[in-house]
Amino acid sequence: MKAAPGAAWPKHAWLIVAVGLLLILILFFVATRPRQKTAQVVPTAAAQDTQEESAAAGYPAFLAERNAARDERYAERVLTDEPYAGQAPLAPRADGPLVSAEIDAQLAALADAFRIRIQILQPSQQTARGRTVSRVTRGDFRGFKVTVVEPMVEGKIVSEEITVITPLNGVFKTVNHVLQDVQRTDFSRILSEIRNAGLEPTLRPGPSGKKTVQALLRAVRHWGKPVAEELLISGDRVGAVPLGLPTRRLKSRLPDSYDLLKRKVLVDDVYYDVYKVLDGRGEPLFYIYEKEGAVWGITVVNDVFKTEMGVGIGSSLDRLRIHYPSIKLAYSERKTPYVRIDGIQGIFIIQENGEKKIVSILIGNSPEFP
């Protein structure tokens, strides 16, 4: 039967319409939601290029910063003799000062400066007396005879006694950095004898805030028997062989007892003429590098050759520093340490591992040491 015109829809018809509208809304939501998510997560090609360019631009800066930190320890440094200054407190002995509180402290600091030098130059020995073991160091520094006695308990130094005998037989002695005795001399004569030994004494207050005195003994000239001219390293020469000498004249500059051998050395695809100089026993003394027919460089490998201050192969870095108040420490491209000294046109190559000693000396240039 047909419904009459204007009659209301049945209830099930409204239900069908509502379900249909709900399905349309769900389909619309599902269709539009992925497009919004993709636009947020996936960057455009332009954005990717920008990020990559930013990372590439920052990488060289990162490398430069890292290399700078790594190479800082290889930067050239000036080393002075400041660490070898003697130290003493501004405190006289319990019975009162021998001269004055200030002069007593200055003499004690000078004694400590001599101790430092003797312990660098001479080996120590251990002695036992009863249950006491002491480390004893004895030696001569520019005419001053120095004895250092350091009693030890369980391997630790518990006290220190320094005795200094001057070239004119004066004596001054300290115990634990305090002056205890002065015999046959006085303060002014001690300073005079120090200067006569080619040293310049400098006495000054210690670091700020500390009641101490410091004493520097700065070498200003050679002392003692001079190095023989044929064994002297100075300026631009080794013995009688200077840089720039025509190699055809080498034989006439060397002692008759020396042998001269020539060979070619290949370095970085380039051949160099090298002359090996030996003594009469066949011991290598030094090598000469030739360039354009003249002496280009000289490498010393024997300890008979020394500077005016007596420094040569086998000398420690500490010994070099107490004889030269200011030196420059640098590193080769291969990170080999070496030292430069004013007045000598060359470098002193230092052993890197273990005790810092001079292992060779190069005057001028060498193709083997970039």
237 and 360 fall within a common domain:
yes
Reduce the secondary structure of 115-178 to three states and give it as a string. Answer: HHHHHHHCCCEEEEECCEEEEEEEEEECCEEEEEEEEEECCEECCCEEEEECCCCCEEEEECCE
* Domain final residue, candidates 219, 248, 264: 219
Asked if residues 293 and 359 have their Cβ atoms less than 8 Å apart, the reply is no
Whether 239 and 209 map to the same domain: the answer is no
Q: Based on the domain organization, do 205 and 238 belong to the same domain? A: no
Same domain, 215 and 308: no
What share of the chain in percent tops pLDDT 70? 80
| Host domain of residue 171 | 82-219
Residue 71, domain member (yes or no):
no
C-alpha count within 13 angstroms, C-beta hemisphere, residue 253: 19
- Short-list 329, 352, 355, 356, CA closest to 340: 329
The percentage of residues in the chain with a pLDDT greater than 90, rounded to a whole number, is: 69
Q: Is 114 exposed, middle or buried (0-12, 13-18, 19+ CB in 10 A)?
A: buried
Question: Are residues 243 and 133 part of one domain?
Answer: no
Report the candidate in 248, 231, 254 with the shortest Cα–Cα distance to residue 310.
231
- 228 or 154, which is more confident: 228
Residue 188 shares a structural domain with residue 238: no
CATH of the domain at 314: 2.60.460.10
| 253 in any annotated domain | yes
In a domain, 3, yes or no: no
Same domain, residue pair 245 and 204: no
| pLDDT 10s digits, 194-247 | 999 999 999 999 987 789 999 999 999 999 899 999 999 999 999 999 999 999
Structural domain count of the chain: 2
In a domain, 44, yes or no: no
Residue 58 lies in a domain: no
Residue type, 155: G
Indicate the range of 5-19, 139-153, 184-198 predicted with least confidence.
5-19
Strands of 199-205's sheet in order across: 86-89, 212-219, 199-205
Query: What's the pLDDT tens digit per position in 84-113?
Result: 999 999 988 999 999 999 999 999 999 999
